[in-house]
Amino acid sequence: MNQNHPRTLLAVLAHPDDETFGVGGTLALYARRGVQAQLICATRGEAGTVSPEFMQGHSSIAALREQELRCAAQHLGLAGVHFLDYRDSGMPGSPDNQHPQALINAPRQEVVHKITRLIRQLRPQVVVTFDPVGGYGHPDHVATHQATVEAFHAAGDPSRFPEDLPAHQPNKLYFTVFSRAYLRAALRLMRLTGRGPRRWGRNQDIDLEELAHDRFPIHARVRYRSVAEVKKKATACHASQLDMGRSNPGLLGLAFRLARLGATETFMRAYPPPNSDRPERDLFLGIDREPSSPPAA
Ligand SMILES: [Zn+2]
């Protein structure tokens, strides 16, 4: 049992803004309930596109985006932000892919080790990360997903990285899954106005038709209406990235607005496998009754 440790929720994500746009409502909700909401962020979003006016007073995109993240973390009520100090790998095919410090070029076991060590240090009961395709295919999201899934199990296995802190097995692992219903609604509107959704985004490399297919089941729905204002304030912290949305007006903005009306964030439960068709409303459901011994598998 975890009675000697405060309830802790750990999100393992890739870039400043991932913590707000995807799971900000959930992090803020649990923080308000007294849960320690912790964030691991693998990079500082160095490959993000930033208009020059946002760079004033900042030595680099990394410094700007770290400050935006710390602003958001304060609003969300995060107990801690932990960087893995890799570099943003950029979208597929961009020169950022080749950078030696890029997350995708790091040895997988090195990334797993860093996340494992933080899991053992922070001792979360619940861990949240990206789905296997990283939401929309960003290579850093996929790499973060893969390393986190391995670290989730490694953290509870005393034979893995034995020189480190004592083993700690979190109880539950969730993948954040963007509810496709809102995207499909926005796509229908887009088709009505005759716009092509297959080559969307600043680099025209995001296929929204493909993205709108449900790939992963939804096992948990967290309603965050009571902290919706907090998520809005945290979103405003990421001004340099919202600017990019403005240059792609319409669809995703519309999808986000529709999603905000629902004030719900959705998750697939990866571990333990779900035993009910009814989506959970609480990521900590059942944890007090479950031992935190290492999984048999
Ligand atoms: Zn990201």
pLDDT per residue as tens digits for the range 228-269: 999 999 999 999 988 654 444 455 666 666 666 778 999 999
Cα–Cα nearest to 151, from 9, 288, 12, 2:
12
Q: Which residues neighbour 19 within 8 Å (Cβ) at sequence distance 6 or greater?
A: 11, 13, 27, 39, 41, 69, 72, 73, 76, 78, 234
Residue 291 alpha carbon to ligand 1 centre in Å: 33
Place of tokens 């007006």: 249
CA 11 to chain centre: 6
Cα–Cα nearest to 115, from 132, 129, 104:
129
In angstroms, rounded to a whole number, what is the distance separating the alpha carbons of residues 109 and 143?
Answer: 11
Residue 255 alpha carbon to ligand 1 centre in Å: 17
Residue 18 alpha carbon to ligand 1 centre in Å: 5
What's residue 290's pLDDT? 45
> Sorting pLDDT into bands at 50, 70 and 90, what band is 188?
confident
Residue 233 alpha carbon to ligand 1 centre in Å: 19
In angstroms, rounded to a whole number, what is the distance separating the alpha carbons of residues 292 and 156?
Answer: 9
Place of tokens 């860093």: 114
Helix (H) or strand (E) holding 225: none
In angstroms, rounded to a whole number, what is the distance separating the alpha carbons of residues 168 and 293?
Answer: 8
In angstroms, rounded to a whole number, what is the distance separating the alpha carbons of residues 189 and 187?
Answer: 5
What's residue 178's pLDDT? 81
> Sorting pLDDT into bands at 50, 70 and 90, what band is 297?
very low
In angstroms, rounded to a whole number, what is the distance separating the alpha carbons of residues 56 and 207?
Answer: 34
Residue 7 alpha carbon to ligand 1 centre in Å: 26
Enumerate the β-bridge partners of residue 175. Answer: 129, 268
In angstroms, rounded to a whole number, what is the distance separating the alpha carbons of residues 257 and 262?
Answer: 9
Residue 45 alpha carbon to ligand 1 centre in Å: 8
Residue 271 alpha carbon to ligand 1 centre in Å: 23
CB burial of residue 33 (10 Å; 0-12, 13-18, 19+): middle
Average pLDDT score over residue span 179-208? 69
Residue 127 alpha carbon to ligand 1 centre in Å: 17
> Sorting pLDDT into bands at 50, 70 and 90, what band is 185?
confident
Residue 158 alpha carbon to ligand 1 centre in Å: 31
CA angle centred on 219, ends 216 and 225, rounded to 5°: 110
Q: For 102, which DSSP code?
A: B
| Average per-residue pLDDT for the chain | 87
Q: For 43, which DSSP code?
A: E
> Sorting pLDDT into bands at 50, 70 and 90, what band is 154?
very high
Cα–Cα nearest to 67, from 77, 85, 81:
81
Tokens of residue 96, six digits: 């950022």
CB of 131 closer than 8 Å to CB of 145: yes
Residue 162 alpha carbon to ligand 1 centre in Å: 31
Residue 290 alpha carbon to ligand 1 centre in Å: 32
